[in-house]
């Protein structure tokens, strides 16, 4: 597949899309309703539908019975942990193996022309971005993610929270489900701005930013405090009336969905002409430039607060001008 039809590659081998990134038409000012129908399928497919389905399937078929979750016991807690460790390993590997290990599409549509595993990097444990990513993801990321899921299961089983049923509140829960990505983005934007405060950045968030050239296992390669904050988005379901499947969908959106921004490729090729657009460029630019795109562009928060980078030379110039002014202020 010719990736130079939709993008350009520089001398270093880095590929960038020709089209500027856009925030969703729904939240633009003024809202561009005419562009809404064209945007809508990409909102659901493939990722949101996948995580909605995984949330429902996990809760219905793979979680322990409600009766069993009434009492906190290691047996069922470890069962959910094991399920999650296997699921995350399989899902992340489904991207890592073909794209990075087998390099099935070489560097076509790859934002950074280089592969992280080609050179040892002393910033990482054992000099390996993948080794640290896997250890942090499975060592603390998935256990923390699981702890929130245990809280959801235990609370739903005891009727402390998450008590709405789809049979009695179908429209409300449907609307809540549709809002999951928007809430995730708003929550992520807030905690992300917080951990970019210099002292927090130094101790917490710099771990995640060691991946300047992110790959799938960079997704949850975070300090445990960041993982704790990141997954705390699900606590909203204990404040508003909600249902455990919606809460679990939110956590799947955060846990499985984290990989989407770190794929490193704009398009996953399928067959000769087919493919899946990843929408990963927004967050890639955050890893590349650090102080742009704190959110993923679903909501216009970066536009509102002046940190939006749409990939164009104009946005690059505006960002460099912001940096120049910041340095001048610091030196004053
Ligand atoms: Zn990231
Ligand atoms: Zn960051």
Domain boundaries, the chain: 41-330
Q: How far is the CA of 332 from the centre of ligand 2 (A)?
A: 26
Give the span between the Cα atoms of 153 and 176, in whole angstroms: 19
Q: Which of 47, 34, 51, 88 is nearest to 277 (CA)?
A: 47
Report residue 247's pLDDT band, with 50, 70 and 90 as the boundaries: very high
Task: Name the helix (H) or strand (E) containing 7.
Answer: strand 7-9
Measured from the Cβ of residue 88, the count of other Cβ atoms closer than 10 Å reads 23
- Looking at the predicted structure, is the pLDDT value of residue 125 above 90? yes
pLDDT exceeding 90 applies to what percent of the chain? Answer: 87
Dmax over Cα atoms in the chain, in whole Å? 64
Q: Which residues are CB-contacts of 226 (< 8 A; sequence separation ≥ 6)?
A: 191, 195, 204, 205, 207, 208
Q: How far is the CA of 146 from the centre of ligand 2 (A)?
A: 23
Residue 261 has a pLDDT of 93
Q: How far is the CA of 161 from the centre of ligand 2 (A)?
A: 32
Two tokens, residue 167: 């049979």
Q: How far is the CA of 21 from the centre of ligand 2 (A)?
A: 19
Return mean pLDDT, the chain: 95
Rounded to 5 degrees, φ, ψ at 123 are: -65, -20
Report residue 134's pLDDT band, with 50, 70 and 90 as the boundaries: very high
Q: How far is the CA of 182 from the centre of ligand 1 (A)?
A: 18
Taking residues 232-237, report their average pLDDT: 98
Q: How far is the CA of 158 from the centre of ligand 2 (A)?
A: 37
Give the span between the Cα atoms of 207 and 201, in whole angstroms: 9
Two tokens, residue 11: 């001398």
Q: How far is the CA of 79 from the centre of ligand 2 (A)?
A: 33
Burial (CB count <10 Å: 0-12, 13-18, 19+), residue 220: buried
Taking residues 178-203, report their average pLDDT: 96
10-15 long-range contacts, CB within 8 A, separation 24+:
12/113, 13/107, 13/113, 13/114, 14/110, 14/111, 14/112, 14/113, 15/107, 15/108, 15/109, 15/110, 15/111, 15/113, 15/266
Two tokens, residue 103: 């390099």
* Contact between 114 and 213 (Cβ < 8 Å): yes
| Rg (the chain; Cα; Å) | 20
Taking residues 64-89, report their average pLDDT: 98
């Amino acid at each position: 597949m010719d990736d130079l039809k939709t993008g350009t590659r520089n001398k270093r081998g880095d590929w960038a899309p020709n089209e500027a990134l856009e925030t969703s038409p729904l939240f633009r000012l003024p809202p561009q309703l005419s562009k809404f129908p064209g945007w809508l399928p990409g909102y659901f497919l493939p990722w949101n539908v996948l995580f909605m389905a995984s949330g429902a399937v996990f809760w219905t078929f793979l979680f322990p019975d409600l009766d069993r979750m009434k009492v906190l016991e290691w047996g069922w807690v470890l069962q959910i942990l094991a399920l999650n460790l296997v699921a995350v390993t399989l899902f992340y590997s489904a991207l890592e193996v073909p794209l990075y290990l087998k390099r099935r599409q070489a560097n076509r549509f790859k934002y950074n022309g280089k592969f992280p595993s080609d050179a040892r990097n002393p910033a990482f444990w054992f000099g390996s971005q993948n080794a640290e990513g896997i250890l942090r993801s499975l060592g603390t990321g998935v256990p923390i993610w699981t702890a929130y899921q245990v809280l959801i299961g235990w609370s739903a089983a005891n009727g402390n929270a998450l008590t709405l049923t789809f049979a009695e509140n179908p429209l409300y829960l449907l609307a809540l489900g549709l809002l999951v990505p928007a809430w995730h983005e708003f929550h992520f934007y807030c905690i992300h701005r917080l951990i970019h405060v210099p002292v927090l950045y130094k101790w917490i968030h710099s771990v995640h930013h060691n991946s300047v050239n992110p790959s799938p296992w960079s997704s949850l390669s975070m300090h445990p405090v960041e993982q704790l904050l990141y997954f705390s988005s699900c606590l909203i379901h204990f404040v508003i009336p909600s249902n455990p499947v919606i809460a679990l969908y939110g956590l799947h959106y955060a846990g499985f969905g984290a990989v989407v921004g770190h794929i490193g490729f704009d398009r996953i090729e399928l067959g000769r002409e087919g493919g899946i657009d990843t929408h990963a460029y927004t967050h890639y630019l955050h890893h590349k430039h650090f102080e742009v795109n704190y959110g993923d562009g679903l909501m216009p928060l970066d536009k509102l607060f002046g940190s939006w980078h749409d990939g164009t030379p104009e946005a690059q110039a505006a960002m460099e001008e912001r940096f120049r002014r910041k340095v001048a202020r610091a030196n004053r």
